[in-house]
Structure 1
Amino acid sequence: MTDTLLKTPLYQAHVDAGAKMVPFAGYDMPVQYGLGVKKEHLHTRDNAGLFDVSHMGQLRLKGANAAAALEALVPVDIIDLPAGQQRYAFFTNEQGGIMDDLMVANLGDHLFVVVNAACKEQDITHLQANLPEDVTLEVITDRALLALQGPKASSVLSRLAPQVADMVFMQVDNVSLMGVDCIVSRSGYTGEDGYEISVPQDKALELANALTAEDEVEWIGLGARDSLRLECGLCLYGHDLDTETTPVESSLLWGISKVRRQDGARPGGFPGADIIFEQIATKAISKKRVGLIGQTKAPVREGAKLFDADNNEIGVVTSGTAGPNAGKPVSMGYVKPEFAALESEVFAEVRGKMLAMTVSKMPFVPQRYYRG
C-alpha cells in the first residue's frame, strides 16, 4: 500500500520524528507523532506547531486576464484583490454545489492558488477546460508547503525574517528565509495566528529542521490539524462541503463577495449563480450546516445520524471531536432548516444510544488571527 502512495519531500523527516503514517488523499502522511493528537492540539494552541501540507496543490495563473478568468469560476471578488493579499474562495458547479475550496493570492505579476489535495487533479482539469487561451496555468511541482501555526508562530518565524511580524491576517509576500525565496502568507487552518510557507522542495527539510529546532515548535500531524480546524468552525472539503451542497446550505454566504451578489457591481457570472441567488432570496433549502455541542462527554463523530425529540431523522454529523480546548464534545453537521436555530436540541445516534446535542454558534473556541 505504502509503495503506491505519493510522498511529500519531508516524508523521511516524519518517519525519523516517530510519526504514525497513514494514507491521506493519495499521500503517505503523518497523522500524529510521539506527543499524540491531544497534546499536539494543545501545544499548537499554546505555542507553535509545524504542519507539512505539501500534499496540497500549488498553482500559478498568469496573464493580464487571469483575475477575470478565475472570477468567472468562483463567487468571489478576484479582479479587485489587491497585490499582497489573499482571499478564501470556492469553485461552484452548475447546480450551485461546491467543487472545492481554495486560497487565491495576488503576487503582483500572477495569482498564486492553493487547492485541496484530494481535489487538485479535478481542479486542474476544471481550470484547463475553462481558462481562455491568454491565461496560462502552471502546476507547481517543485515546492513544498509548510504551515507554522499558534500564538508563538510570529516570534519564531520573525527570527528568520523580521518583516513577517508586521504582516497581518491574509497578507502574502515573497520572503527570503535562510537565503531561500519563499511565498509566505499570514494565514492557516487552525484558527490560530500563523503562516503558510511555500518553499522550494530541495530546501524544505533545511527550513523545517530550523523551525522544529526552536523550543516553541513541535511537528503536528493530521489528527490535531483536524481537531484544531473543527474547534474553530472551519470546514473540511469532502466532509463538511461537497458538490451536492451549496454555499447557502453550508453557511458560507460570507464567502460570496458583495460585488458578486445579485445586487452587486459584478453580479453572478459564476457557475450555479441563479440557483444560489434563488436560495438566498427564498431561503428554500433542504439542509443547513450548524455547530453542535454535546450534552454528554462522548464525542459524536462524522456519520452519526441526527434525530428530533420524536425520533425522526433530521440530519447527519459531518465532523466531530472531543474538543480539547472547548472542554466538551463539538461537531458540525447538517440538519433540516427548522432545526438550525441556536439552542435547538437534537439527538445523535452513537452505538445505539441517543445523545443530546445543542445547536451552537461557531467557532467553538475563539479564532485568534492577527489583524494588527
Structure 2
Amino acid sequence: MRGGGLWQLGQSITRRLAQTDKKVVARRYFASEAELKKTALYDFHVANGGKMVPFAGWSMPIQYKDSIMDSTVNCRENGSLFDVSHMCGLSLKGKDCIPFLETLVIGDIAGLAPGTGTLSVLTNEKGGAIDDTVITKVKDDHIYLVVNAGCRDKDLDHIGGHMKAFQAKGGDVSWHIHDERSLLALQGPLAAPVLQHLTKDDLSKVYFGEFRMLDINGVHCYITRTGYVIFFCFPTYLSGITVEVYVLRSL
C-alpha cells in the first residue's frame, strides 16, 4: 500500500480511534460537572473553543475547532502544546527511595545518572503491569515519577501500601504528591525551537531522557525531554494566569 492508500488508512484508523475514545471517556469517567477537577488552564480551554469532557475525574479538552486529523498532522509536522496537568506527579525522597522504587518497577533506577530518566512499568507482585510511568532521578535521594490520571488511585494505593511496609522495616523513604504543579507537554519537531525562544538555556544540550531545572519566560520550571516531547512543570501556586501567559507566548 502506497501514498494515498496509506493516507486513507491513517484517516480511517484515526476516525475510529477518536470515536472509541469518546465512548470510553463517557463510559469510564462519567462524573457531574460540579465534581470534576479543573487544571489551571481550564478557562483558557473554554475561551478557545475546547470541547470539555470528563476524563479520570477532570474536565479536559478532547478537541478544539480543528478536526482531530488536522490536529494530528499539525503535531507531527510542526508541534502542539498539551495540557496534561491531570496526570499524577510524585516525588520519592530519602536515602532508600531508589531501593524501594526498584521493588515496584522494572529497570535499573540505581544505574541512572542524576538528571536522567527512563520509561518504566509499575508492576504487581506477579510481575503484571499496573501502569506505565516516566521516572526521573533528580539525585540519589530524590526520584520524580509521573503516572496516568486514570490509574492514579490504584497506583497511589499500591505505592503507599508498599511504602508503609518498607518503612516499618526501617527503610528511609517518603513521598509527596505534586497537586500544586501544572504539567504541560510540547510535542512535535518544532517543540525545542519554539521553547528556545522563551529560555536563555541551550535546549540543544538537553538530550533524550534528561531532566533540567530551567527559567522559562521568567518562571522556574522542571523539564524532561523524551524524543519529540518536552514535558515541563509549572508551580501552579503562581496562579493559572501565569500558565496562560506562558501558553499564549509560546503559541
8 Å CA contact retained: 1:7, 1:27: yes
Which residue in 2 is equivalent to 1:292?
Answer: none
8 Å CA contact retained: 2:92, 2:142: yes
Q: 1:206: how far off?
A: 2.8
What SS does the aligned partner of 1:120 have?
helix
What SS does the aligned partner of 1:186 have?
strand
TM (normalized to structure 1)? Answer: 0.54
Which residue in 2 is equivalent to 1:164?
Answer: 203
Which residue in 2 is equivalent to 1:114?
Answer: 146
The structure 1 residue matched to 2:84, chosen from 34, 53, 64, is 53
Aligned residues between the structures? 211
Which structure has the greater CA radius of gyration?
Answer: 1
**Distance change (3 Å), C-alpha of 1:202 and 1:37:** farther
8 Å CA contact retained: 1:62, 1:136: yes
For residue 217 of structure 2, what is the amino acid of its counterpart?
M
1:44 and 2:79 correspond = no
1:190-229 counterparts in 2 under 5 A? 193-203=228-238, 205-214=241-250, 217=251
Which residue in 2 is equivalent to 1:72?
Answer: 103
Which residue in 2 is equivalent to 1:336?
Answer: none
8 Å CA contact retained: 1:185, 1:195: yes
For residues 24 and 73 of structure 1, what CA distance do their matches in structure 2 show? Answer: 26
TM (normalized to structure 2)? Answer: 0.79
Higher normalized helix content (fraction of residues):
2
What SS does the aligned partner of 1:72 have?
coil
8 Å CA contact retained: 1:155, 1:165: no
Identity of aligned residues (%): 36
Which residue in 1 is equivalent to 2:21?
Answer: none
8 Å CA contact retained: 2:196, 2:203: yes
Q: 1:76: how far off?
A: 1.2
The structure 2 residue matched to 1:14, chosen from 38, 41, 45, is 45
Q: Which moved more, 1:132-141 or 1:13-22?
A: 132-141
Q: 1:60: how far off?
A: 0.4
What SS does the aligned partner of 2:202 have?
helix
1:140 and 2:178 correspond = yes
Which residue in 1 is equivalent to 2:36?
Answer: 5
What SS does the aligned partner of 1:12 have?
helix
1:127 and 2:159 correspond = yes
For residues 58 and 138 of structure 1, what CA distance do their matches in structure 2 show? Answer: 9
For residue 205 of structure 2, what is the amino acid of its counterpart?
D
Which residue in 1 is equivalent to 2:29?
Answer: none
Name segments (4+ residues, structure 1) moved above 4 Å: none
For residues 211 and 10 of structure 1, what CA distance do their matches in structure 2 show? Answer: 9
8 Å CA contact retained: 1:186, 1:196: yes
Could you give the per-residue CA deviations for residues 52-104 of structure 1, whole angstroms, max 9, x where no partner exists?
00000010000011111000111211111111101111111123321111011
For residues 203 and 247 of structure 2, what CA distance do their matches in structure 1 show? Answer: 15
For residue 63 of structure 1, what is the amino acid of its counterpart?
G
For residues 41 and 13 of structure 1, what CA distance do their matches in structure 2 show? Answer: 21
**Distance change (3 Å), C-alpha of 1:163 and 1:16:** same
Which residue in 2 is equivalent to 1:34?
Answer: 65
For residues 173 and 99 of structure 2, what CA distance do their matches in structure 1 show? Answer: 10
